[in-house]
């Protein structure tokens, strides 16, 4: 397997794994692993190494989150890239994607409350040049994030008895 792919797969699974541990896992020298990680960062392949936070476990301190679908009307001198640039600069926007289908963009936003998300859509997003319509879908519960299951399940080995 490609050395870079192996390193990326390990970091995607657990970003806290040390370079020394990665080297041992793939049977490579730590210096070589370090060099590859530096190159991956320099090339913009690794942009940021972070944690996956289970907001469900935060209880009442969890942020409100929503997915917002946006229909836009690009123009010759003001296209998708220009509209995206305006949208991703808002601090509430945590992810922005150009999509195929009914809507042009999908964004994931976070705020302290649902009301703050409503205000963001009403006062900042819907009034942007080129934005034709929005549809806000509040995230009620997360089960899986970036490949990681967030809920604890009981291992129930009991047999189901049916009449």
What is the tens place of the pLDDT at every residue in 127-156?
Answer: 999 999 999 999 999 999 888 888 877 665
Residue 119: give its domain's CATH number: 3.30.70.920
Is residue 162 very low, low, confident or very high in pLDDT (cuts 50, 70, 90)? low
> In this structure, are 20 and 94 located in the same domain?
no
The answer to whether residue 50 sits within a structural domain is: no
- The total of structural domains in the chain comes to 2
Confidence grade of residue 46 (pLDDT, cut at 50, 70, 90): very high
Task: List Cβ neighbours of 114 (8 Å cut-off, separation of 6 or more).
Answer: 64, 66, 138
Q: Is residue 150 part of a domain?
A: no
Asked if 93 and 124 sit in the same domain, the reply is yes
In the prediction, which pLDDT does 57 show? Answer: 86
| Together in a domain, 65 and 114 | yes
Q: Please check whether residues 82 and 133 belong to one and the same domain.
A: yes
Are residues 83 and 23 part of one domain? no
Same domain, 72 and 126: yes
pLDDT at 70: 98
Residue 97 is assigned to a structural domain of this protein: yes
Q: Which of 72, 76, 92 has its CA nearest to residue 84?
A: 72
The verdict on residue 83 lying in a domain is: yes
Would residue 14 count as lying in a domain? yes
Please check whether residues 9 and 74 belong to one and the same domain.
Answer: no
The answer on 89 and 33 residing in a single domain is no
Find the CATH number of the domain harbouring 23. 1.10.10
Structural domain span for residue 8: 3-42
| pLDDT tens per residue, range 101-119 | 999 999 999 999 999 999 9
Residues 66 and 38 both lie in one domain:
no
Of residues 50 and 157, the one with the higher pLDDT is 50
- pTM of model > 0.85: no
- Helix H, strand E, coil C: the string for the chain is CCHHHHHHHHHHHCCCCCHHHHHHHHCCCHHHHHHHHHHHHHCCCCCCCCCCCCHHHHHHHCCEEEEEEEEECCECCECHHHHHHHHHCCCCEEEEEECCCCCCEEEEEEECCHHHHHHHHHHHHCCCCCEEEEEEEECCCCCEECCEECCCCCCCCCCCCCC
129 within some domain: yes
């Amino acid at each position: 397997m490609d050395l870079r792919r192996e390193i990326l797969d390990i970091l995607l699974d657990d970003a806290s794994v040390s370079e020394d541990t990665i080297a041992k896992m793939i049977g490579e020298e730590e210096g070589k692993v370090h060099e590859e990680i530096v190159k991956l960062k320099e090339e913009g392949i690794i942009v940021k190494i972070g944690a996956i936070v289970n907001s469900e476990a935060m209880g009442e301190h969890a942020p409100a989150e929503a997915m917002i679908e946006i229909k836009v009307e690009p123009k010759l001198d003001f296209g998708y890239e220009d509209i995206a640039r305006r949208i991703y600069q808002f601090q509430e926007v945590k992810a922005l994607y150009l999509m195929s289908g009914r809507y042009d963009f999908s964004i994931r936003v976070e705020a302290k409350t649902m009301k703050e998300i409503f205000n963001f859509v009403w006062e900042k997003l819907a009034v942007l040049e080129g934005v034709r319509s929005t549809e806000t879908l509040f995230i009620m519960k997360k089960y899986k994030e970036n490949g990681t299951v967030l809920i604890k399940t009981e291992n129930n080995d009991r047999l189901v008895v049916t009449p």
